[in-house]
Chain A
C-alpha cells in the first residue's frame, strides 16, 4: 500500500519540505530509496529495520520502495529516519495513513526504536511553517530549542511507538510561543574585572559603537584576550530577530545541541590560528556555517592574527564586506549571514618583545618584517582602530588600578547613547560600514577641524585611506558625545587610533 509522509531537510541554513512516499509491493524483500539521497539517508535503512522490529512491529517481508520528493533536491541528514519508518509502518497498516498529511515529522532513530535529536531543527521548522504544516513531530531532545519558532504546533516524541500513537490518535501539539521575553544575558564576566587599561576600554567602546574593525598590538600577557572576551558584555541587548538568526545558524551547525548555548548570548568566536579555510568561512560538500557565520551578531576575535595563513585571512575579505557568504554547490547557492565586529590581536613580533624598553627582542629583522607582512592589504583595510598596549608589570596591575570605575554597564550606556544618537540622525548602518560618499555626507568638517586634519596629513604622515577611517571613527566619537558636528577633540582622539604601516611604532 502507498503512503505519504511529510518531512524536511536542511540545505545550508534553510529548511526545505520533503515528501516521503512509501510503497510496499510484492517482490524480493528489501528497501530501495530513490530521490537524491545522501549516504546518511541510505544507511538509515539499517537503522529503520532494527528500530521497527525492536519497537514490537513486524518488518514487512516484501519489496519496499521509498521515493523522496522533490526528486531534484539533494537530501542529507539523519532526520529522515523517523519519517521513513513512519512511512513503512503506514504502508504496513500500523499507522493510519489518512492522518499523515497534518504532520511534519523529523527525527533520527536508534536501533532500539528511540528517537534522537538532530541538528538544524530551527531551519526545518521554518520550512514546515512555509509549507503550511500544522503540527511538527520532533525529537524530545530538540524541544527546548524548537520552541523559539512561532506559529507551529510542536509534538515532541521519545520513541517510534510514541510517534505512531500520536498519529493514530490524531494528537495535536502545543503551539510554540516563540520568544516571549528577552532577558539580559549574564555573561559572568565584566570589564570591572580588569584594573586600569582605560585607554583600551575606551577604544573598545568606540569600536563597538561604530562596528569598527579593531587591532590590539602588545606583548604577551598585557590583557588583549581578557579585554576581547568581555566585548559581548557591552554590546546592546539582542533583539528577537537577532536571537532567532543566531539560533538558526547555531542550529544548522549543530552547535546548539552540542554546547547548549543560552539564548540572548552574543556570540564570541575565537578560532585558533591553525583553522582551515572551510572552518573559518564555512564549507563542506553540504556547506555548514564557519566561524564567521557563528560570530554573526557578535564578535570574531582573531588572536595572534599574524599567525593565521594569509590565504585564510584574505578569504575573509568579501564576506566581511558583504555581511554574508555564498557557497555554490552543484549550482545552488548556500547563503550564510556574517555580520560581526572584527577584533584582532597581535604581538609586535614573533617573540613579542620588539619595542620593549628593557627586554631584548630575539627576532631578526627579516623575521619581524615577514611577521608584519602577514597583516597587509585586505586585513589592514578592515582596521579602523589600532591601539598599542604596553607590558603590564604585576605590581602596576595591583597598585595603579585600585578601583576600576569603568565597568561593563558604564561602557554599555556610552555605546547605547551613541547608537541612539546615530539612529536619531537617520544613520542606520554602523559608521564602520560607511562608504566613501557617505563619509563625505555625514562627516563634514568645520574650518578649524579641516586645519587640524591638514596638519595631521603633513605631520603624522596620514594616507588618503586612513584619512577616511579617521573621519569615520571621529563620527562615532561624536555620536557617543551626542554631537551633530565633529569637533577638534573628536578628530584628535580618532587620530590617536590610526593604523600605522609599522604596527610597532605609535
Chain B
C-alpha cells in the first residue's frame, strides 16, 4: 500500500481541518488525495440497522454518486458500509476515515470494500499505519469526518450511536446536519429523531441534499416493469403497506399462501420487492 503522510504544515493539508479544534497533526492517506479539498458530504449511521436504514443509506450513496459528490464515512459495519456501497454502485468517490492505522482496517469483514475505496477514492487515518485501534479512537476520528465535509447526513442512529457524536462535532463546527426521520417507536431512529427535535434538517427528499449544494438534478431514473394483473395487485398492496407480512397479503387479497409466495418470488426476481425478517418491503 502506498501511504502518503501529510503534515499539518504541508500545503496539502485540507483547509477544512485547519479550523477545527484538536486538529490532527498528521494524516496518513492512501488513494486520491485531491479528494481532501473537495466539497463532500458525510453519511453516517449506527452499526445496527433496519432494512429502512439500509435502503436509505444506499439510496443517499447512489444519489450522491450520480451527482459526483464525494461521500465521507467511517467504514463501520452497517449504515456506513451501505452508504459507501451505494456510492460505488453509481461510480461515486468515497472517503473513509478510520479509527485504526491504515494497515489494520476494521472491521475485517470490509476488506474488499476497503480495497475498492483505496482504488476509487481515499482512506485517511491520523494514527500510525500499524496502530490496531482502541475503543476511544473510533469516536475520536468522527471529528475528522465532520471536519472534512460540508454537511452531515445521519441515516439511522440509536440513542448511544457514534453517529450522534459525528453530528455533535458537526454542530460545533457549524455544519448543516440532516437527519432521516423514522418511526417514533423505533429504537433505531431514536437518535435521528432527537436530532430533528434539536433543530437538524429533516431529510425528506433525497434531492434536497443536491439542491442545497447548488447541484443540478438531472436524472432519468425510471423504474418500468411489466407486471401481470396478479403481480400488480400484490405489488400495489406492498406499495400501500411497506413491510407487510405474507399472511397479511393473503388476507388483504383473499389469495392462498401458495399463490402469494409464487408471485412474490417473481416480483423479487424483477427487482420490485425484497423480503427481510419475514416481512415484504419495496426494493427501492
Which residues of A are at the interface with B, using a C-beta cutoff of 8 A? 196-199, 201-202, 217-218, 348, 354-361, 365, 387-390, 400, 452, 455-456, 459-460, 477, 488-490, 492-493, 495-497, 504-506
Is B246 a contact of A489 with CB atoms below 8 Å?
no
Q: Of A202, A360, A460, A497, which is within 8 A of B269 by CB?
A: A460
- Determine which of B48, B107, B183, B264 lies in contact with A360 in the assembled complex, contact meaning CB atoms within 8 Å: B48
Question: Please, which residue of chain B has its CB at the minimum distance from the CB of A201?
Answer: B257
Chain B residues whose C-beta falls within 8 Å of the C-beta of A488 in the assembled complex: 262
Interface residues of B (CB under 8 A from A): 47-48, 50-52, 77, 107, 158, 183, 185-188, 243, 245-248, 250-251, 256-266, 268-271, 275-279
When the two chains form their complex, are residues B186 and A357 in contact, meaning their CB atoms are under 8 A apart? yes
- Report Cα–Cα, A505/B279, bound state, in Å: 10
A144 to B258, CA, bound (A): 45
Q: Contacts A199-B246, A357-B50, A389-B278; is A477 near B258 (CB within 8 Å)? A: yes
Name the CB-closest residue of A to B275.
Answer: A506
Q: How far is the CB of B106 from chain A (nearest CB, A)?
A: 12
* Residues in A neighbouring B264, C-beta threshold 8 A: 496
Given A357-B186, A357-B243, A358-B187, 5 other A-B residues pairs in contact with their CB atoms under 8 A: A199-B250, A218-B278, A358-B185, A390-B278, A460-B268
| A202:B247 contact, CB within 8 angstroms | no
Contacts of A201 in B (CB 8 A): 257
A400 contacts B248, CB within 8 Å? yes
| Cα of A506 to Cα of B274 in the assembled complex, Å | 7
- In whole angstroms, how far apart are the Cα atoms of A57 and B164 in the complex? 91
Taking a contact as CB atoms under 8 Å apart, the answer to whether A360 and B188 are in contact is yes
* Interchain CB contact (< 8 A) of B279 among A217, A357, A460, A489: A357
Give the Cβ gap from B103 to chain A, nearest Cβ, in Å: 22
Q: Does A492 contact B262, Cβ atoms closer than 8 Å? A: yes
A388 touches B265 (CB 8 A): no
Task: Flag if B261 contacts A360 (CB, 8 Å).
Answer: no
Q: How many angstroms from the CA of A489 to the CA of B228 in the assembled complex?
A: 13
Neighbour of A198 across the interface among B158, B250, B276, B277, CB < 8 A: B250
Q: Which of B183, B257, B258, B276 has the most CB atoms of chain A within a 10 A radius of its CB?
A: B258
Contact A358 B278 (CB under 8 A): no
Contact yes or no, A456 B250, CB < 8 A: no
Q: Are B247 and A358 in contact (CB under 8 A)?
A: no
Q: Given the known A-B contacts A198-B247, A388-B277, are A452 and B269 also in contact in the complex, defined by CB atoms under 8 Å? A: yes
- Residue pair A459, B243 in contact (C-beta under 8 Å): no
The listed residue (B260, B271, B276) touching A355 by CB distance below 8 A is B276
CA–CA, A356 and B279, complex, Å: 10
User: How far does the Cβ of B185 sit from chain A's closest Cβ, in whole Å?
Assistant: 6
- Minimum distance in angstroms from A217 CB to a CB of chain B: 8
Smallest Cβ-Cβ distance to A505: which chain B residue: B276
Asked whether B279 lies within 8 Å of A390 as measured between CB atoms, the reply is yes
Contact A202 B261 (CB under 8 A): yes
A375–B102 alpha-carbon span in the complex (Å): 34
Chain A residue nearest to B48 (CB atoms) is: A361
> Are the CB atoms of A202 and B256 closer together than 8 Å?
yes
Min CB gap A358→B, angstroms: 5
Distance to closest chain A CB from B284 (angstroms): 15
| Min C-beta distance of A94 to chain B, whole Å | 71
Q: Assess A459 versus B269: contact at CB under 8 Å? Given A198-B247, A358-B185, A358-B186.
A: yes
Partner of A496, one of B52, B251, B262: B262
With known contacts A400-B247, A460-B269, A199–B277 Cβ distance under 8 A: no
CB–CB A357/B277 < 8 A: yes
Minimum Cβ distance to chain A for residue B251 (Å): 6
Contacts of B275 in A (CB 8 A): 388, 505-506
From residue B134, how far is it (CB to closest CB) to chain A in Å?
17
Interface contact A199-B262, CB-CB below 8 Å: no
Q: A198-B250, A199-B257 are in contact. Are A492 and B277 (CB under 8 A)?
A: no
Q: What are the residues of chain B within 8 A of A459 when measuring CB–CB? A: 268-271
